[in-house]
């Protein structure tokens, strides 16, 4: 259907117009091989399996993710195989390895991408930055993308609650003539709330900007700055954390999600309303140049180059653990851990 978002009309697909039964009928002869069982793999594969699709997992044997797949009920030799065997058996290859993993496994995968196969992504990185990743797919297969707008954990949790997370979709190469139907069918199958149209380049640009911006990078920077100011001015750790993180995540953001920012503003005190309305544009003016710089770095490919160089470093995992340890052991998030354990639901469980 066509839906107008502000001044722009976009293509949107909902479960009402494209039912699960229709999706299953379209993919009834397909074997969906999910390569990778890390971030998106578990949520997407389990949702597809629970929805009645024919799904197999491809994963490196005896790895942490292999053991996780076994715990989730996948059975070796039945629906859990090596990466190579899953590539051989699958007709739709869901390429859900990490970006670095996709680069290293590509020379192997491309040997299995013969006529009649389909290649699926949940991120536009590999093909958009193909000059850096060296991922050049064959011309006689369907290539498409469905990208849930959230983590695989959230995708699975919302699915089990009978809800759904929004996803973008894109067709990169329609060799068969019915690639779009396959794309939407997978999107419905993994539990998308609704699907909105994009392309591979726009998906990866918006995704990288979002991760580095309001979704993760910017929000952590803002949390750290406000917490530090409050502590420097003599406020206690618990007060500083509650006013910086807890009230936002536990109270205000759920209201924004349910009703919008204007509703949340109108249901706060007049003091809070006035301050927020007076200050939000100052924050926008301060951060707009940073977001412009960020988008330029992403669209130029410089950010992708840094990602690839960093992720293929043999010491990447050790460096990552050090950075995450520093974050975890900062006063801000030590306080956060204590406060989370004081929530009533923790005691009731």
Catalytic residues: 123
Please give the span between the terminal C-alpha atoms of the chain, in angstroms, as a whole number. 43
Q: Residue 249 has what DSSP assignment?
A: I
Spatial separation of the C-alpha atoms in residues 198 and 194, rounded to whole Å: 13
Six-digit token pair at 98? 């990490």
Residue 53 neighbours by CB under 8 Å, 6+ apart? 24, 27, 30, 32, 189
SS3 content of the chain, % helix, strand, coil (to 5): 60, 15, 25
The strands making up 8-14's β-sheet, listed across from edge to edge, are 2-5, 8-14, 192-197, 165-173, 142-148, 118-121, 92-95, 32-35, 55-58, 80-81
Residue 16 neighbours by CB under 8 Å, 6+ apart? none
Spatial separation of the C-alpha atoms in residues 37 and 61, rounded to whole Å: 11
């Amino acid at each position: 259907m066509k839906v107008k978002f502000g001044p722009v009309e976009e293509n949107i697909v909902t479960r009402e117009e494209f039912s699960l039964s229709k999706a299953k009928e379209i993919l009834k002869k397909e074997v969906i091989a999910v390569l990778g069982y890390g971030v998106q793999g578990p949520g997407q594969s389990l949702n597809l399996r629970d929805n009645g699709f024919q799904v197999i997992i491809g994963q490196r044997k005896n790895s942490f993710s292999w053991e996780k797949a076994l715990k989730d009920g996948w059975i070796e030799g039945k629906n859990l195989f090596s990466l190579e065997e899953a590539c051989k058996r699958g007709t739709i290859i869901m390429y859900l390895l990490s970006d670095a993993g996709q680069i290293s496994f590509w020379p192997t995968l491309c040997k299995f991408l013969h006529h009649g196969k389909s290649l699926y992504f949940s991120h536009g990185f590999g093909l958009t930055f193909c000059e850096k990743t060296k991922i050049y797919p064959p011309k006689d297969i369907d290539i498409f993308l469905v990208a849930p707008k959230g983590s695989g954990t959230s995708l699975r949790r919302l699915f089990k609650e009978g809800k759904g997370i929004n996803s973008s979709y894109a067709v990169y190469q329609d060799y068969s003539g019915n690639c779009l139907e396959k794309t939407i069918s997978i999107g419905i199958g993994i539990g998308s709330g609704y699907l909105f149209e994009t392309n591979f380049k726009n998906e990866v640009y918006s995704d990288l900007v979002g991760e580095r911006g309001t979704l993760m990078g910017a929000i952590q920077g803002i949390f750290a700055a406000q917490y530090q100011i409050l502590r420097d001015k003599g406020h206690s750790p618990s007060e500083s954390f509650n006013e910086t993180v807890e009230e936002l995540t536990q109270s205000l953001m759920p209201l924004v999600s349910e009703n919008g920012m204007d509703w949340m503003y109108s249901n706060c005190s007049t003091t809070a309303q006035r301050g927020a309305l007076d200050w939000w544009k100052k924050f926008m003016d301060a951060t707009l140049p940073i977001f412009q710089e960020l988008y330029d770095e992403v669209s130029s490919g410089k950010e992708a180059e840094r990602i690839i160089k960093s992720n293929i470093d043999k010491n990447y995992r050790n460096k990552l653990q050090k950075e995450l340890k520093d974050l975890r052991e900062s006063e801000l998030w030590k306080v956060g851990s204590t406060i989370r354990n004081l929530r009533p639901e923790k005691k009731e469980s």
